[in-house]
Structures are given as structure tokens and as C-alpha cells.
Amino acid sequence: MITHTTHRRKLDADLPTTAEVEALLAKCSRRAPTGKRNRALLAVYWRSGLRCQEGLDLAVKDIDFEAGTITVQRGKGQKLRRVGMDSGTSALIQQWLDARQRLRLGPSAPLFCTLRGDPVDPSYVRHLMKRLTRKAGIGKRIHAHALRHRYAVDLVNEGATLTTVQALLGHSSAATTSVYLSRLGSSEAVDFARSREWA
């Protein structure tokens, strides 16, 4: 029988470390527009705790640099929530927006779109994660949702309460959060996530 504690230990053991996530980001090209896009997208998953599709559904208008927030228009259960955006993630998104502008992509294209302005398919993200993991020499399977889990565990390690993490991840039940540790929505949770430093 798998107990809650056993499940949590297994989950934590399977999680990518901070160093491993940073290694994935480092393997994204710093020059190519796709590299800038991919690095910003992975940072959003890791540093703001978005689900894979939530990140791909973001619009340019959902990013508020002044407030340091990302608005998820249609989260799980079609719920709207706001999450904090730290300065490191903000800088990577800005680099991608600059590249987007040079590509002359209009504001109607999804934030993280193809170089022609089309939506990015989730299967692309799955293949991207496999490719980056291999290039980084990481011997474990890492998927986009694992970055969300890493985010939740990091929040707890930094002193966030279960309620704050529950709000940031958008969980309707604290029981779900306690098993998996995730999410954001209240102003307190937004402030907590926005103040986290990563450069």
C-alpha cells in the first residue's frame, strides 16, 4: 500500500532539482528566437507554476510587467487567477517579446507562439523537454508538469503556507495541494511569488 508519505517521498525524488531546471534553460539557444521563447516558457512553468496548456494559452495582454503578474484567463475548471512573476522570469519574457516584435508578430498571436504566429502544440513542449534533458545530460524524465511541482516544493521550502501554495497553484482543495504542493490567486500569494528573486 502506498501511503501519503511514501507518495510524497517518491514525488520529491522524481522532481528535477533547481540546478537541473537551470541546466535545461541553459540549453535553450540565447540567440535564436525559438530559444528565447522556449527559455521564457520554461521559466513561466517553473517560476510561476502554470500547467502546460495554461502557459501555451497566455496572451501578450496577460503579462503585466508593472504589477509583476501573469493572468491565467482559463485555468482548470475555467477559473481565472493571477500569479506572481519574479524579475528573472520577467526579463526572459521581455527578451522573447523583443524577438516577437522583430518577427512582426501581432498581439493577437498567443504569447508563446510559433515563428509564424501560430499556437504551439503541447506535443512540441513534450519533445522539447526530452531534447533539453538529453542535451543537459540529465538521467531522469522531466516534463513540464514537473516544473510546476518543483515550483510548489520551492515555495514550501521558502516558507509559504499551504494556503498560499494552494492559491498560487489554483487548487480548489487543500488536500490536493498537500499531496502535490502547488498554486496562486490571492493578493498575498501574488506578493509572495513576485518578491522571489531569480536572475
The C-alpha atoms of residue 159 and residue 146 are separated, in whole angstroms, by 20
Residues catalogued as catalytic:
51, 76, 145, 148, 171, 180
Copy the grid coordinates of residue 146.
514537473
The C-alpha atoms of residue 199 and residue 197 are separated, in whole angstroms, by 7
Copy the grid coordinates of residue 79.
477559473
CB 110 within 8 A of CB 59: yes
Taking CA atoms, 7 is separated from 1, 11, 13, 150, 170, in Å, by: 10, 6, 10, 15, 21
